[in-house]
Amino acid sequence: MPAPRKSTRSAAARDASASPAAPRAIAEQLERHGVRPSAQRVAIASYVLGTEDHPSADQVWARVKERFPMVSRATVYNTLRHFTEKGLLRELVLAEGRQVFDPVIEPHHHFVDDETGAIRDIPWSALKVAKIDELEGLDVREYMVVVRGVSRGARKG
Amino acid sequence: MPAPRKSTRSAAARDASASPAAPRAIAEQLERHGVRPSAQRVAIASYVLGTEDHPSADQVWARVKERFPMVSRATVYNTLRHFTEKGLLRELVLAEGRQVFDPVIEPHHHFVDDETGAIRDIPWSALKVAKIDELEGLDVREYMVVVRGVSRGARKG
DNA sequence: GCCGAAAGTTGGACTTAGTCTAAAAACGTC
DNA sequence: GACGTTTTTAGACTAAGTCCAACTTTCGGC
């Protein structure tokens, strides 16, 4: 068995990302997560499980409609909720006025660009949060650092 | 001059909180921040600058209407934006589907309760984030830790 | 292959949060 | 009191998210 990969995306996201044009692989991933792989869901998964853009539901809809014009808005919303429930996606509150979706399931931090609104992942190990266990009276399910500012140099929009 | 207080709320929030029924003190605080202290604004400030509830705009409106039935929704939205622009409030993205407002201007972290949705402050010193300066390519304007889970014991809703 | 049940999709209505506008009211200066 | 500026108001509008009824697709039993 190969060594663990550096990528922290879910198995589904990794496969989707590695083979974005492989609907069969995506369908199999959906099935492994207990999601029936209809054509619409495979199309939605092809995009959302392989993107680093942290899109909103309507952004996913706009994107999937390019190649699947008949897909309905309700289907996209239903499917994103279903993927979230099945552990394929995380739903985050990071942007004003909308929820965003993140295929990287494992813990990580986020950076939100003040100028562009773009959201990007910060690896878990890039930051250390000390004393989280000393928060009294709180059962911590998860935590992350949200960093806001401006990107410079690499990765211009 | 007395020793610095433990409270980290803005001067306005401290004064409002210490004397929630002192419209004159609130009016003076608004004036110090370049905000004309109309009756509506004082009413809104009396609540929002003294609460730890992190309310949304519509929650502020509902609350202020109790004592100021004629205040309009547009006025509340306009006033909250004005307070934010003048440094009296911070607008946060922590809750699904709405912005919330926080009178504590100084840096701090947040806890979001999975069960109730309640948001509460975590003092800045309660957590340490290491290596924030090592984030390459990012001009950091602010950062905070967002902790999610369940409160237990103290401060039940 | 048929049939019924379950699951999924669709079009669009509905709700809520946030913004915008024109008119009216309030305020400050002269 | 007049006038210009600011604030407030009522409500229209937009966008995100949810819900519903009808239709379509899929699946399992026979």
- Tens-place pLDDT, residues B20-46: 557 889 999 999 999 999 999 999 999
- In this prediction, residue A21 carries a pLDDT of 54
Is A39 a residue whose pLDDT tops 90?
A: yes
Residue B6's pLDDT band (cuts 50, 70, 90)? very low
Q: Which residue is nearest to nucleotide C10 (CA to C1')?
A: A72
Least confident window among A10-19, A42-51, B78-87, B106-115: A10-19
Domain A11-102 has CATH 1.10.10.10: yes
In Å, the largest CA–CA distance within chain B is 52
When pLDDT is averaged across residues A58-85 and rounded to a whole number, the result is 96
Asked if B144 and A141 come within 8 Å (Cβ–Cβ), the reply is no
Asked if A149 and B140 come within 8 Å (Cβ–Cβ), the reply is yes
Residue A89 corresponds to which amino acid? L
**Is A84 (CB) below 7 Å from strand D?**
no
- In this prediction, residue B154 carries a pLDDT of 56
Asked if B130 and A130 come within 8 Å (Cβ–Cβ), the reply is yes
**Is B85 (CB) below 7 Å from strand C?**
no
Is B15 a residue whose pLDDT tops 80?
A: no
Nucleotide with the nearest C1' to B93 CA: C17
Q: Where are the domains of chain A?
A: 11-102, 109-149
Q: Distance (Å) from CA A75 to C1' D22?
A: 15
B157-to-A98, B72, B86, B150, B151 alpha-carbon distances in Å: 27, 29, 32, 11, 9
- In this prediction, residue B12 carries a pLDDT of 47
C-alpha to C-alpha distance for A14 and A152, rounded to whole angstroms: 27
When pLDDT is averaged across residues B127-154 and rounded to a whole number, the result is 92
Average pLDDT, chain A: 87
When pLDDT is averaged across residues A138-146 and rounded to a whole number, the result is 96
Nearest to A96 among B93, B136, B150 (CB): B93
Residues of B in contact with A144 (CB under 8 A): 145-146
When pLDDT is averaged across residues B60-87 and rounded to a whole number, the result is 96
Dig out the tokens for B147 from the structure. 């902790």
B70-to-A124, A143, B13, B43, B81 alpha-carbon distances in Å: 49, 41, 24, 12, 19
**Is B38 (CB) below 7 Å from strand D?**
yes
- In this prediction, residue A19 carries a pLDDT of 44
When pLDDT is averaged across residues B12-23 and rounded to a whole number, the result is 54
- 3-state class of A3 per DSSP? coil
User: Which residues on chain A place their C-beta less than 8 Å from a C-beta of chain B?
Assistant: 93-97, 99, 111, 114, 122, 126-132, 134-155
- 3-state class of A143 per DSSP? strand
- In this prediction, residue B157 carries a pLDDT of 41
Is B138 a residue whose pLDDT tops 50?
A: yes
Residue found under tokens 């992942």: A121
Strand C positions within 7 A of protein Cβ atoms: 7-12, 16-21, 26-28
Residue A152's pLDDT band (cuts 50, 70, 90)? confident
Residue A155's pLDDT band (cuts 50, 70, 90)? low
Residue found under tokens 């979001």: B112
Asked if B155 and A137 come within 8 Å (Cβ–Cβ), the reply is yes
